[in-house]
């Protein structure tokens, strides 16, 4: 128990597992710490296909995808701590972090030179998105409903209303229908669906499920402790409900699929700075926190990814960074260049680049755009986009050579042609 690790990976989801495989392959002493009693993270409960299109060039289900990583972890000399909850991370020095953990084997402190933090995300719930009414049974987040059904065999309800038209909401709509439930509709506050068109087709249209754009649930009604109906209203330009447009929709279950938020409680506590746009940490192109050296962040804890493939990619980048970090006793000093989200850009990750290596930028636009250029100031890189929605994460590779063409801040913007 008293050895010092080169790297402690916190979170055994896709990002953490991919990172651990890579650090172990580079000969680093690696431990994976996972709160649940099994590895795999969220994809274990995502039994639909849509995983691995980029990474494996195959269309896998969540468990199939993540078991490929679990199998690799099992084959390697990686210490695994399951049912082990990280309570606090203490930054002792650049080359020493203390991790306070608790598990059925006891509560102690693990020492490691570096941290790869891949603790995933949490879901936004009913109160966070402000749905008033009765506090009763029958309101679940998409993730909870998914775990109930697809991990533990509990059917949440039979007449379902879904709030949020992101991929998660759409996929859950289909799941419910395929288990014999009736989905009365998917309510979306924005004027456009947040999910991919292919999911609108194969999850809603295939089953004749109505999609109500520019609508929101303004009240939950109840009968004997369970949801009995929802009042839905149209919303105006500023997303406020328009009085007089209320309609009552009968349902016994309301599913909140209103998006995810990076889990950052432990990071904030140790002084990691947070980007208000991503709600994840502010990082450089090593995916290292800019305020706490030696803490690298990957996966949904860094930024909410559409594809698990990106989470894995971030895990692998973090692993390479750790390798370099340990060799050099830190990330080598650099004249950091700021990445600035310009017009029509919601965010860009990472926030700083060193110019020493190729970098992958992850970004989202702030509103639906057509016929635009995604352009990167100074470098002169221009990528044409026919149609782009905020719900689609853009992944752009900037080569080291491109970066060296120009010195100064990197402004990312989406400009209409």
Partner 1 sequence: MKSYVEKRVICIICPRGCEIRVRLVDGKIISVEGYSCPMGKKYAEQEVCSPKRVLMTIVRCENGDLPVVSVKTSGPVPKDKLLEISRYLAGIKVKPPIRIGDVIIRNVLDLGVDIVATRPCMPVENKYSDQK
Partner 2 sequence: MRVGIIGAGIVGLSIARWLSRYENIEVHVIDKNPDVGWGVTKANTSIIHPCHEEDPDKHPLRMRLCLEGHDLWYEWVRELDIPSRWPGEIIVAFNDEEIHVLKHYLSLAVRNKVPGVKLLDKEELLSIEPKINPSAIMGLYAPSAGSIDPIQAAIAIAENCADNNVYFHLGEKVIDVIIRDRRVVGVVTSEKVYDFDIVINAAGLYADEISRMAGINDYYIFPRRGQYILYDSTAEPKPEKIIHTTPTPKTKGVYVLKTTDDTLLIGPTAEDLSPDKKNELRTTREGINYLLRNAEKLLPRLPPRNLVIKTFAGLRPEPSTGSFIIRFHEDPWGFIDVAGIRSPGLTAAPAIGKYVVELIHKHIDLKPKNKWKRYRKGIVRIKDLGVEDRNKLITKNPSYGRIICQCRGVSEAEIIEAINRMKKIGVKEITLDGIKFRTHTMYGRCQGSFCRVLVSLIISRYVGIKPWEITFRGGNSFYGIGEVKSLFKEVIR
Ligand X SMILES: Cc1cc2nc3c(=O)[nH]c(=O)nc-3n(C[C@H](O)[C@H](O)[C@H](O)COP(=O)(O)OP(=O)(O)OC[C@H]3O[C@@H](n4cnc5c(N)ncnc54)[C@H](O)[C@@H]3O)c2cc1C
Size of the site for partner 2 (CB under 8 A): 58
Considering the rule CB under 6 A, would residue 164 count as an interface residue with ligand X? no
CA dihedral angle for residue 369, residue 372, residue 373, residue 374, rounded to 10 degrees: 10
Considering the rule CB under 8 A, would residue 95 count as an interface residue with partner 1? no
Query: Among candidates 138, 129, 9, 21, which has minimal Cα distance to 75?
Result: 21
Rank residues 104 and 243 by Cβ distance to partner 1 and give the closer one. 104
Considering the rule CB under 6 A, would residue 262 count as an interface residue with ligand X? no
What are the tokens at 235? Answer: 């919303």
Considering the rule CB under 8 A, would residue 87 count as an interface residue with partner 2? yes
Q: Which of residues 186-205 bind partner 1 (CB under 8 A)?
A: 196-198, 200-202
What are the tokens at 348? Answer: 């860009």
Among 158, 367, 382, 399, binds partner 2 (CB under 8 A): 158
Which of partner 2, partner 1, ligand X, none binds 300 (CB below 5-8 Å, type-dependent)?
ligand X
Query: Among candidates 193, 194, 188, 169, which has minimal Cα distance to 235?
Result: 188
CB 416 within 8 A of CB 386: no
What distances in angstroms separate CA 386 from CA 13, 54, 193, 355, 371, one per listed residue?
Answer: 34, 21, 17, 29, 5
Residues β-bridged to residue 363: 348, 394
Q: Which of residues 25-54 bind partner 1 (CB under 8 A)?
A: 37, 44, 47-49, 53
Q: Which of residues 6-35 bind partner 2 (CB under 8 A)?
A: 35
Considering the rule CB under 6 A, would residue 41 count as an interface residue with ligand X? yes
Query: Among candidates 356, 358, 357, 360, which has minimal Cα distance to 348?
Result: 360
Considering the rule CB under 8 A, would residue 179 count as an interface residue with partner 2? yes
Rank residues 178 and 239 by Cβ distance to partner 1 and give the closer one. 178
Buried/exposed 350-386: b ≥16 CB within 10 Å, e otherwise: bbbbbbebebbbbbbbeeebeebbbbbebbebeeebe
What character string, x for contact with ligand X (CB under 6 A) and - otherwise, covers 86-115? x-----------------------------
Considering the rule CB under 8 A, would residue 57 count as an interface residue with partner 1? no
Considering the rule CB under 8 A, would residue 63 count as an interface residue with partner 1? yes
Considering the rule CB under 8 A, would residue 206 count as an interface residue with partner 1? yes
- Distance in Å from the first CA to the final CA of the chain: 60
Among 7, 8, 9, 15, binds ligand X (CB under 6 A): 15
- Does residue 106 sit in helix, strand or coil? strand
Considering the rule CB under 8 A, would residue 224 count as an interface residue with partner 2? yes
Binding site for partner 1 (CB under 8 A): 37, 44, 47-49, 53, 61, 63-64, 67, 83, 149-153, 177-180, 196-198, 200-202, 206, 392
């Amino acid at each position: 128990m008293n050895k010092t690790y080169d790297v402690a990976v916190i979170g055994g989801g896709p990002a953490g597992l991919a990172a651990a495989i890579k650090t172990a392959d580079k000969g680093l002493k690696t431990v994976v710490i996972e709160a649940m009693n099994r590895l795999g993270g969220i994809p274990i409960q995502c039994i639909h296909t849509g995983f691995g299109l980029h990474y494996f060039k195959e269309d896998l289900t969540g468990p199939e995808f993540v078991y490929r990583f679990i199998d690799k972890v099992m084959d390697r000399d990686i210490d695994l701590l399951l049912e082990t909850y990280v309570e606090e991370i203490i930054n002792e020095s650049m080359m020493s972090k203390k991790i306070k953990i608790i598990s059925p084997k006891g509560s102690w402190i693990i020492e490691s030179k570096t941290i790869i933090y891949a603790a995933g995300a949490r879901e936004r719930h009913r109160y966070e998105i402000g749905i008033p009414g009765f506090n009763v049974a029958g309101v679940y987040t998409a993730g909870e409903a998914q775990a109930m059904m697809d991990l533990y065999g509990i059917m949440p309800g039979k007449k379902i209303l879904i709030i949020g038209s992101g991929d998660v909401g759409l996929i859950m709509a289909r799941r419910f229908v395929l288990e014999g439930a009736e989905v009365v509709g998917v309510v979306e506050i924005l004027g456009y669906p947040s999910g991919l068109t292919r999911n609108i087709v194969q999850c809603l249209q295939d089953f004749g499920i109505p999609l109500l754009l520019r609508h929101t649930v303004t009240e939950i009604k109840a009968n004997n402790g369970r949801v009995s109906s929802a009042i839905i209203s149209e919303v105006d330009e500023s997303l406020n409900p328009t009085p007089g447009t209320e309609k009552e929709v009968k349902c016994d279950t309301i599913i909140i699929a209103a998006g995810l938020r990076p889990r950052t409680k432990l990071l904030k506590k140790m002084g990691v700075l947070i980007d208000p746009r991503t709600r994840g940490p502010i990082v450089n192109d090593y995916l290292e926190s800019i305020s706490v050296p030696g803490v690298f962040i990957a996966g949904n804890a860094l930024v909410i990814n559409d594809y698990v493939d990106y989470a894995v990619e971030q895990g692998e980048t973090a692993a390479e960074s750790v390798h370099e970090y340990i060799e050099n006793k830190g990330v080598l000093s650099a004249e950091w260049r700021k990445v600035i989200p310009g017009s029509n850009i919601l965010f860009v990750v990472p926030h700083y680049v060193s110019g020493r290596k190729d970098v992958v930028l992850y970004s989202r636009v702030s509103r639906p755009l057509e016929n635009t250029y995604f352009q990167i100031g100074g470098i002169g890189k221009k990528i044409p986009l026919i149609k782009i929605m905020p719900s689609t994460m853009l992944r752009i590779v900037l080569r080291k050579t491109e970066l060296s063409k120009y010195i100064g801040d990197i402004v990312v913007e989406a400009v209409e042609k």
